[in-house]
Amino acid sequence: MQINRERRKGNEVMNRILLGANYYPEDWDEELIDFDIEKMKECGFNVVRIAEFSWKKMEPVEGEYDFAWLHRVVDKMHAAGIGVIMGTPTATPPHWFVKKFPEAPMLHEDGVRNSHGGRRHCCSNNPDYIRYSEKIVEKLAKEFGGDPGVIGWQIDNEIYHNGIGCCCDHCMKAFHQHLTEKYGDVESLNKAWNLNLFSQAYDDIDDVPVPANAWHNPHIKLEWNLSHFKSHKNFVHLQAAIIRKYSSAPIGTDTMPFNGFDYRELNDPLDVAQFNHYFTDLQKVTLWMDYMRHFSKRPFWNTETQACWNGSTQMGHAMQDEGFVYMNTWLPVMLGGEANLYWLWRTHWAGHELMHGAVLDTSGRYTYANGEIRKASAEFQKVADFLPDYKVKSDTALLFTSLNWNIKLTQDINAAIKNEYGFVEDFYKALLKSGIHPDVIDAKEELSNYKLIFTPTAYTLEEHDFPKRMTEWVREGGVWVVGPMTDIRTGIGTKYKTSPYGSLEEMIGAHLDYILPDDAGKVELTNEEGNVAHGSAIYELFGKGDFEPWLTVTKGHSALIGKCPVFAKQLGKGWVVMLGTLPEEAEFARIIKKAAGIAYAKVYDVDDGIMVTERVSGEDTLYLVASVGGKAGEFRFEGEYVDLLQGTVYRDGLKLTPYELYILKKA
């Protein structure tokens, strides 16, 4: 047995797995740094994130800069073999700035402006905030751009807006400019949004208001969201351009999974996707990492996660089961990432977020999960010289796009769907349970890498010529499982006038008779094997046609009897599987495996909670097998495989305890 140990080229950091924490030296006496470094080395840490909230300490008085303290931190870390990810401090402009520019903070829909006292409290469109942010970033980048101790950059912190966002004059101007660029003139906008309804038509684009304090239509709310995203994106990108003048180290911005951001657009000019999460459901974490991986030019960085428990002014949840922190530490590395950093190194002694867990408590003592952190760290050192060369591979994909996320946020469509991502999480977990570990992709992703693609609640397909590309992909042999409520909206969230769908009916040559909700179990189905089954939430019902029925209505309203919500239609060399309802668990698993069989897609024989990730380097293949669901279970296979962590050989199967991980290679 041999391992492909070819080293990656480029920046030295690419040859390592990074493990560390967020560090706030500005909050502590400077003489503690040596103690902290000693503890970090005990944990096997080789990276810290610093400076993201320290604008005041960098620029205590306008125009007077002090970076000496920051140099001392970076120098000490570098001497100890700990790299620094430098944060730009623009999320926390100091009080002197807010005092000088009182209109820079966000203006809420009720007319109340943010006061100084938190973070991300200023408006991304405010010209004074932008100008002063550019100045501090320029100073910081010039100061540390060539410093060998700085291995990367983090722009701002979790850039987002509270509620509907800022409603100031600058945001209104940006919104109206966005509408003009997209619709051209007010007549086109009125027509596109059907503003004759409720006499809502506007006389000028500049008359379009903030979507607040009224029962506004979903289209104005969608465009408002997209306009705000554009402003945040521009704010990040201008900082990246400044840093790039002085530094060749990777640049990114740490993000959270909310607000409907388009992570592809946000990360497009950046070097590394950075992701923060505090989920306690690790299968939700893997969904996001399987998604974010596609938007990073290098292996992504998990820049924040819990070291023990979450919290703010109070502890956020019960103590996690043993092994949770270990598995949570491994997740980004298992899924193709390069770094995992905890938030935070040491719990704050005063101020905000006093009760959030950390690697050390306030007095400098390890918290309860430190043994799990050290276990993961030791294993990272075992695999760091070869695992990063093995890329994550899957022949199945699950579609999730920012535009569809925003449509869900601005028009619920179906009250039975409680998750803001639609049915994406339901499908992802059902696929894992069925033994399929999918990539999670957006509409721009190259389709030829996949044999099987699922599109749940893809309300609109009007992105990146997706319908045409999918049709060609199916005709060439792909299997498309069209999930519930796919293709029922235009790209601006309106319905189609001549068909319930944008292109599906024409593509599959079938006619939708009815689309109706049922969250009360009034519809009963029978599958093609004669077994009774049930769906949920929605029924898209087709009459008889040139297709293979997989589920047919056999009980319910008489008008529905004999209609098919689930069927398969061959198209060229491939198939379209119309899945017009969310089936109950057992039936859903049967349909998934049947579709995978048609596609010849890879299905692993696993128990619930066990996830298999394929990693490939040239002709070599590794299988990372993990109890991500926190359950004991088994992975069944044929032949002999050796675990590269412990050296043990396993034949025909492997039993896992909760939160256990193996790296298998054919013996």
Query: Cβ(409)–Cβ(420) under 8 Å?
Result: yes
Query: Cβ(325)–Cβ(285) under 8 Å?
Result: no
CA distance linking residue 220 with residue 223, whole number of Å? 5
Q: Does the structure show a pLDDT above 50 at 484? A: yes
Structure tokens at 317: 């949840």
| Closest by CA position to 400, among listed 521, 552, 551, 295 | 295
pLDDT of residue 2: 60
| Closest by CA position to 49, among listed 343, 365, 358, 372 | 343
Average per-residue pLDDT for the chain: 96
Residue 442 CB contacts under 8 Å (≥ 6 apart), including other chains: 264, 291, 294, 399, 400, 401, 402, 463
Confidence of residue 4 (pLDDT cuts 50, 70, 90): low
| Closest by CA position to 562, among listed 513, 596, 519, 630 | 513
323-337, 347-361, 484-498, 598-612: the lowest-pLDDT one: 347-361
pLDDT of residue 594: 99
Confidence of residue 6 (pLDDT cuts 50, 70, 90): very low
Residue 455 CB contacts under 8 Å (≥ 6 apart), including other chains: 399, 461, 480, 481, 482, 483, 486
Q: Does the structure show a pLDDT above 80 at 182? A: yes
| Closest by CA position to 383, among listed 636, 615, 131, 168 | 615
Q: Does the structure show a pLDDT above 60 at 396? A: yes
CA distance linking residue 579 with residue 593, whole number of Å? 13
Confidence of residue 15 (pLDDT cuts 50, 70, 90): very low
E strand map for 547-610 = 548-555, 566-571, 574-579, 605-606
CA distance linking residue 117 with residue 642, whole number of Å? 55
Task: Give me the mean pLDDT over the 479-499 stretch.
Answer: 98
pLDDT of residue 314: 77
Task: Give me the mean pLDDT over the 526-536 stretch.
Answer: 97
> Is residue 305 within a helix (H) or strand (E), and if so which, with residue range?
none
Confidence of residue 564 (pLDDT cuts 50, 70, 90): very high
Query: Cβ(37)–Cβ(371) under 8 Å?
Result: no
- What share of residues in the chain are helix, strand, coil (percent, to 5)? 30, 20, 45
154-163, 365-374, 389-398: the lowest-pLDDT one: 154-163
Q: Does the structure show a pLDDT above 60 at 11? A: no
Q: Does the structure show a pLDDT above 90 at 332? A: yes
DSSP 51-112: -TT-HHHH-SBTTB---HHHHHHHHHHHHTT-EEEEEP-TTS--HHHHHH-TTSB-B-TTSP
> Is residue 533 within a helix (H) or strand (E), and if so which, with residue range?
strand 532-533
Q: Does the structure show a pLDDT above 90 at 136? A: yes
Q: Does the structure show a pLDDT above 80 at 315? A: no
pLDDT of residue 568: 99
Residue 661 CB contacts under 8 Å (≥ 6 apart), including other chains: 326, 327, 330, 334, 379, 624, 625, 626, 627, 645
Task: Give me the mean pLDDT over the 540-565 stretch.
Answer: 96
The owner of tokens 């689309």 is 515
Question: Considering the entire predicted model, what is its pTM?
Answer: 0.96
State pLDDT tens for residues 361-383.
Answer: 999 999 999 999 999 999 999 99
| Closest by CA position to 167, among listed 215, 217, 213 | 213
Q: Does the structure show a pLDDT above 70 at 151? A: yes
> Is residue 653 within a helix (H) or strand (E), and if so which, with residue range?
none
Q: Does the structure show a pLDDT above 60 at 171? A: yes
Task: Give me the mean pLDDT over the 241-269 stretch.
Answer: 96
How many CA atoms, within 13 angstroms, populate the side-chain half-sphere of residue 157? Answer: 24
pLDDT of residue 300: 98
Give the single-character DSSP code of 247: -
| Closest by CA position to 339, among listed 395, 310, 294, 377 | 377
Strand 396-399 to 391-393 pairing: unpaired
Q: What percent of the chain has pLDDT over 90?
A: 93
170-179, 309-318, 568-577: the lowest-pLDDT one: 309-318
Task: Give me the mean pLDDT over the 147-174 stretch.
Answer: 96
Domains defined along the chain, listed by start: 12-164+232-388 (3.20.20.80), 395-601 (3.40.50.880), 606-666 (2.60.40.1180)
Structure tokens at 547: 């297709």
Amino acid, res. 395: D
Strand 274-276 to 254-255 pairing: parallel
Cα angle for residues 184, 186, 192 (degrees, 5° grid): 80
Confidence of residue 1 (pLDDT cuts 50, 70, 90): low
Residue 561 CB contacts under 8 Å (≥ 6 apart), including other chains: 553, 554, 555
Task: Give me the mean pLDDT over the 549-554 stretch.
Answer: 98
